[in-house]
Amino acid sequence: DVPQIGYTEKVMDHFMHPRNVGAVADPDGVGQVGNPVCGDLMEVSIKVEKDVITDIKFKTFGCGSAIATASMVTELAKGKTLDEAEKISRQDVADELDGLPPRKMHCSNLAADALHKAIEDYRKKTETG
Ligand code: FES
Ligand code: FES
């Protein structure tokens, strides 16, 4: 058995088998966030059709918790409208994973923040102004 060190089974599953790793081809929106303290980075790219996120992928230099939360964020966001995806909060992600150790909450913020930035990026590009 793998020692879990306070991680839930869901976190371990998403860490060992992350979903949607990489970058979508020809993205409609890209969001990058970094934690300046530690230098960890997260990038989320999205494809959007008629206001729905049809594809989403992530890349990160972060730790296992960052990988697991990003994997979960991509699963939550795929198929959602932009308005729905925008409402996916840092807490939603942690809840979906049945919790994260408190000292790892900052890592889980990277993915939700990068998703929100990717949506912002898409909206900026498509604004007809
Ligand atoms: Fe840096 Fe988690 S992303 S420690
Ligand atoms: Fe950098 Fe956790 S230590 S995000």
Does the active-site annotation cover 63? no
* Residue 48 to residue 64: CA distance in whole angstroms: 28
65 CB under 6 A from ligand 1? yes
CATH of 9-124, picked from 3.40.50.2000, 3.40.50.2300, 3.40.50.300, 3.90.1010.10, is: 3.90.1010.10
Given a contact cutoff of 8 angstroms between Cβ atoms, the answer to whether 51 and 92 are in contact is: no
Q: What does the pLDDT profile of the chain (129 residues) look like in tens digits?
A: 555 567 889 999 999 999 999 999 999 999 999 988 888 999 999 999 999 999 999 999 999 989 999 999 999 999 999 999 999 988 898 899 898 888 887 888 899 999 999 999 999 999 865
Q: Is 107 a catalytic residue?
A: yes
Size of the chain in residues = 129
Delimit the domains of the chain by residue range: 9-124
Residue 39 CA: which ligand 2 atom is closest?
1
**Per-residue model confidence (pLDDT) at position 66:** 93
CA–centroid distance, 58 to ligand 1, in Å, is 15
d(CA 86, CA 82): 6
Minimum CA distance residue for ligand 2 atom 4: 107
Structure tokens at 48: 């959007």
- Number of Cβ within 10 Å of residue 45's Cβ equals 24
